[in-house]
Chains A and B, each alone.
Chain A
């Protein structure tokens, strides 16, 4: 969390969603409402919506066995630039109690022939965010993505 004495302003929102691919729309609605409220421009909202879908679907597809708690906690944070010359930063974290699963470990497809075999999601995530970080903390997967942009 951003402490108040840094002088920066942060919007934050936590969403808990069951890790099922059918819950994408719910997540989109939460993201849109958060991002519009935080004043994130439409093109950045669009690109990060894609990042959220790719990450969430990846987790929902690979991080859980049957009978596991499939709750995925998604933390959305928007740090406003302190100075006019600074950039705004959006941080999106995905936390779950699933099997240790590093989405970044999945390699990109090697050739066009294998494009329909998957692996495109992580390429999109890497391209549309500035930082990606996976950690296993206290039996939880913690996957954090951040994206900087110049406020308009």
Chain B
């Protein structure tokens, strides 16, 4: 099965990467290439949207963690949204969800982003 990647820019330096299909040994290099070229230090927030992702293996996880590391190193935010149960299970097995910003759906994440923007406006951050 193949991997679909769709990347959109959102206001406020947000890069949203929606992935669908299978993120495995065969397809992980495709995502790696996108991460290498699109996740730069001008990006404030990277969102990985797993809504259409059916399958994830450790090769795919490694790319996700590399992207997280780039954001951690530049002080940016790294958010995961719409993890399907079989995908969430993979993250749980390797105990990777602690310390990750994971949102169950779009609404929950939008609330968080709005809250963050308001804090920036109010000068809290």
Contact = CB atoms under 8 A, between A and B. Distances in A.
B93 A127 contact: yes
Contact of A54 (B26, B57, B65): B57
A57 interface: yes
Contact of A112 (B57, B59, B62, B96): B96
Given A22-B26, A57-B59, A112-B99, A123 B94 contact: yes
Contacts of A10: none
Contacts of A123: 93-94
A53 interface: yes
A99 interface: no
Interface residues on B, range: 20 to 34
B1, B24, B25, B90: most-surrounded residue (chain A CB, <10 A): B25
**Do most interface residues of chain A lie in helix, strand or loop, or is the interface mixed?**
helix
B57 A50 contact: yes
Contacts of B26: 21-22, 24-25
A46 interface: yes
B40 interface: no
A124 B90 contact: yes
A36 interface: no
B50 to A, nearest CB: 15
Contacts, number: 57
A76 B96 CA distance: 31
A66 interface: no
B99 A24 contact: no
Question: Which 9 A-B pairs rank lowest in CB-CB distance, beginning with the nearest?
Answer: A116-B65, A120-B58, A127-B93, A121-B58, A120-B94, A53-B57, A115-B65, A24-B25, A57-B25
Contacts of A57: 25, 57, 59
Interface of B: 1, 24-26, 55, 57-59, 61-62, 65-66, 68-69, 86, 90, 93-94, 96, 98-99
A138 interface: no
Interface of A: 21-22, 24-25, 28, 43, 46-47, 49-50, 53-54, 57, 109, 112, 115-116, 118, 120-121, 123-124, 127-128
A43, A54, A115, A123: most-surrounded residue (chain B CB, <10 A): A115
Given A24-B24, A50-B57, A53-B57, 11 more contacts: A25-B26, A28-B1, A46-B86, A112-B98, A115-B94, A115-B96, A116-B62, A116-B65, A118-B62, A120-B58, A120-B61
Contacts of B98: 112
B113 to A, nearest CB: 24
B38 to A, nearest CB: 18
